[in-house]
Chain A
Amino acid sequence: MQPGAGESIYLRGVLPSGAPLEGKRQAAGLTTTGADAACVGCHQRSGLGTYEGYNFDVTIPPIAGPYLFHSREAHTQEAVLPYVPWMHSNRDPYTDATLARAIREGLDSQGRPLSALMPRFALSDADMDALIEYLKQLGSHPAPGVSERELHFATVITPDADPARRKAMLDVMDHYFADKNLFPIGNSLPLRTSGHGQQAKSMFMSHRLWRLHVWDLTGAASTWGAQLDAHMEREPVFALVSGLGGNNWAPVHQFCQRRQLPCLFPNVDAPLDNSHDFYPLYFSRGVLLEADLIARQIAYGAHAASAAPAASVLQVYRPGDGGEAAALALAAALKPLGIPVRNQPLAPASGAKGVREAVGQAQKSDVLVLWLRPADLADLGDAAAAPAVVYTSGVMGGLEQAPLPAAWRSRVRMTYPYELPEKRELRVKYALSWFSIRHIPVVDEPLQVNTYIACGLLAETLSHMADNLVQPFMIEMLQTSAERRLINTGYYPHLVLALNQHFASKGGYIVHFARPEGAQLVADSDWIVP
């Protein structure tokens, strides 16, 4: 059997021969092929299935090995498989032969027809064997970081992260974990239903203590991957939670994907936007989203009364910082429109003089885009020669606290990929009260509120997972349930994910300062999703 053949069929819909998998939905007379036909589309990477419809109109059952082959006799008095609300338990266990029949002919272990949604696949014997082998091992590996009494998580901090922000984030996380462990209530009693006991032991849910490991990375980014591997060997964890990046988060993202480790909502300005990666989830695309917001404004001429696209763009950023990725993204977005973009990277340690010289390269007709941190913004100096239209990244510049010199405040438009201050009061109130009660100093409000929300999403998701401690299932449950959080969404107006989505907040505002001093903002736009 070709190694990886079953996985290729399941995840990608590609047969070992290289030909696309083909499935037929006979009732509808429709054929589905390739990636669209791959098992993962419905049964998910975890193999634990999903559902559609408020009344569970469509239930896509778990097909991870234990769920297919577990003997029915063992269910009757005491079910032992972790409960999944959409599991189909009213059938005999499959054998290899009946499973092959299910996949080829759409009949269950007792010969009853499967759902009209389930295609019939004409697999060869060898391909069928490979797929069945893959299904058998799905869900049979114990997840790292899980013991009978404890559940281990880590939070990663890159060496270029600000130490004050590191402490602010860990303050929140340490308190959250301590609260979580305050009442170790032990294992819940198995729930027993009267009569058949279908959901008896399967509803059993242990209340494990949460353990947080802080993984501080050191040295060059090229060594972080190996450092993370070493941490993982020493202290295996189930998932990474929150975390703090500086200029570069890519090695952490790649580690999560490589080790198949959920990486939940780190505080990073420039996440990696790779739609093929499954395990990292983010609150938003950060500066990449801001680049799209600015591109949209420039393309639609929203920056000018004439509503014509900008003639040319000059971008200023520090090489190696998140702004560089954003500048590349903006230039790429404007290229098809034929708008010339000039990049003005700042020389290392160039100081105020370097900032002023770079900005001074802008012509009056340019749209100037600043991908700068607060220290550089404070050095902008005189605005007399600056173009009429200046955009600055709110994420990088410190939002309403951005230390722009007074002369610049009147002309700068800021991208603001969060809910507006006056509208988010209710959304952050719970977190801020929680901090206040615990005497957690608020050093960086967006950072700490988002860290708190990340911990909350983790707790909620674990409760939905019951005892199904399967790493891809955690991602799937987060994706399908994040939207239910209606008010306590922190700095974001709403958090919306779905299976196959990895960024929960997708838009932002364009704002400017109301007055030469103070933090009051005026929105120039509605919530824009670029």
Chain B
Amino acid sequence: MLRLLGVAAPLIGLAAVGAAFSQESSEQSAPPRASHSFMSSAQYTVPDVRLVRDDGKAVALPEEMNDGRPVVLNFIYTTCSTICPLMSQTLAQFDHELGADRGRVHLMSISIDPEEDTVARLHAYAQKFHAGPEWQHYTGTAQASLTAQRAFNVWRGDKMGHSSVTFVRAAPGTPWLRIEGFVTPGELLQQYHHLLEQSGATVATR
């Protein structure tokens, strides 16, 4: 069937952080499982594309991404009623659990359906998930969105190829953590703090 193009992330000389297939075990019959997610570390070149933010402002992706804050990134579209609401809800809950640290992070959601996702629709979508000032949604031309998707190796031919992938990066220049599958808000928070600690340690030893 459709199994030719694998989902191998561009691993560049970095060991995978580890496959985190967490599954609670219990004597009770069939406990609910925690998330199924696969994590890897990867370098991506942020493409120099112009996108339009959900406040209507035209922006350059590298500038948005490289303002020094840690970035959590995903790709969504607003009419998606299957996995996107869960992905966005996960980001929203993660954001909430950050508490006072929320001001330090930059959450970014890029539309993979930019012609449908006008600024007004993106704005309404962002509000539905109570996105604060630290969380922006982006649209733009179909080509710009495609370029961004290709740069992060998430484009799979069309929207139906969309899967749940979350990216986390501590600071510009450091590698991205790529999380495939459904990560829980708690796991995302844990990974985020871990990445920040690592990054802080790296800075301290320089």
Q: Which residues of A contact B (CB under 8 A)?
A: 25-30, 32, 36, 40-42, 50-58, 60, 85, 106-107, 111-113, 116-117, 120, 480-481, 483-484, 494, 496, 498-501, 506-507, 526-527, 529-530
Contact = CB atoms under 8 A, between A and B. Distances in A.
17 contacts: A28-B86, A28-B89, A28-B182, A29-B186, A36-B85, A50-B82, A54-B156, A54-B157, A57-B181, A113-B32, A116-B36, A117-B182, A483-B158, A496-B113, A498-B77, A529-B114, A530-B118
A327 to B, nearest CB: 21
A501 B116 CA distance: 8
A30 B115 contact: no
Which of B29, B32, B116 has the most CB atoms of chain A within a 10 A radius of its CB?
B32
Chain A at the B interface: mostly helix, strand, loop or mixed? loop
Given A51-B160, A498-B80, A106 B86 contact: no
B156 to A, nearest CB: 4
B85 A27 contact: no
Contacts of A501: 79, 116
B35 A52 contact: no
Interface string B1-43: 1110101000000000000000000000111111110000000
A290 B89 CA distance: 35
Given A28-B90, A494-B142, A498-B80, 8 more contacts: A28-B89, A54-B160, A55-B2, A113-B31, A116-B33, A498-B79, A500-B79, A529-B115
Contact of A507 (B29, B115, B157): B115
Q: How would you classify the secondary structure of chain B's contact residues: helix, strand, loop or mixed?
A: loop
B102 interface: no
A484 B89 CA distance: 29
Given A116-B35, A116-B36, A529 B118 contact: yes
List the 8 shortest-distance A-B pairs measured between CB atoms, nearest first.
A54-B156, A53-B163, A41-B81, A54-B161, A506-B115, A57-B163, A500-B79, A28-B184
B30 A113 contact: yes
B164 interface: yes
B151 interface: no
Contacts of A106: 32
Interface in B32-69: 32-36
B32 A498 contact: no
B82 A41 contact: yes
A464 B77 CA distance: 24
Contacts of B118: 529-530
Contacts of A507: 115
A116 B37 CA distance: 11
B52 to A, nearest CB: 10
A484 B2 CA distance: 14
B38 to A, nearest CB: 11
Contact of B160 (A25, A42, A52): A52
A60 B115 contact: no
Contact of A500 (B32, B81, B86, B181): B81
A27 B32 contact: yes
A281 to B, nearest CB: 14
B156 A30 contact: no
B83 A58 contact: yes
Given A52-B160, A53-B161, A496-B116, A26 B32 contact: yes
A498 B184 contact: no
B185 interface: yes
Contacts of B186: 29
A42 B35 CA distance: 18
B163 A30 contact: no
B159 interface: yes
A496 B115 contact: yes
Given A36-B85, A50-B82, A55 B7 contact: yes
A55 B29 CA distance: 30
A57 B79 CA distance: 19
Contacts of B29: 107, 111
Contact of A54 (B30, B36, B86, B163): B163
A492 B16 CA distance: 44
Contacts of B30: 107, 111-113
A485 to B, nearest CB: 10
A30 B89 contact: yes
A527 B142 CA distance: 10
A32 B83 CA distance: 12
Contacts of A117: 82-83, 86, 182
A42 B81 contact: yes
Interface in B88-142: 89-90, 93, 113-116, 118, 141-142
B123 to A, nearest CB: 14
A52 B83 CA distance: 8
Contacts of A116: 33-36, 182
A52 B82 contact: yes
**Which of A29, A50, A120 has most B Cβ within 10 Å?**
A29
A56 B1 contact: yes
Given A55-B7, A496-B116, A30 B162 contact: no
Contacts of B113: 496, 498
A25 B116 CA distance: 28
A482 to B, nearest CB: 9
A54 B164 CA distance: 11
Nearest to A530: B118
A295 B79 CA distance: 24
B182 A32 contact: no
B86 A25 contact: yes
Contact of B90 (A30, A51, A496): A30
Nearest to B181: A57
Contacts of B85: 32, 36, 41
Given A113-B31, A116-B35, A529-B115, A499 B164 contact: no
B184 A27 contact: yes
A116 to B, nearest CB: 5
A120 B31 CA distance: 13
Nearest to A480: B160
Given A30-B93, A117-B82, A56 B35 contact: no
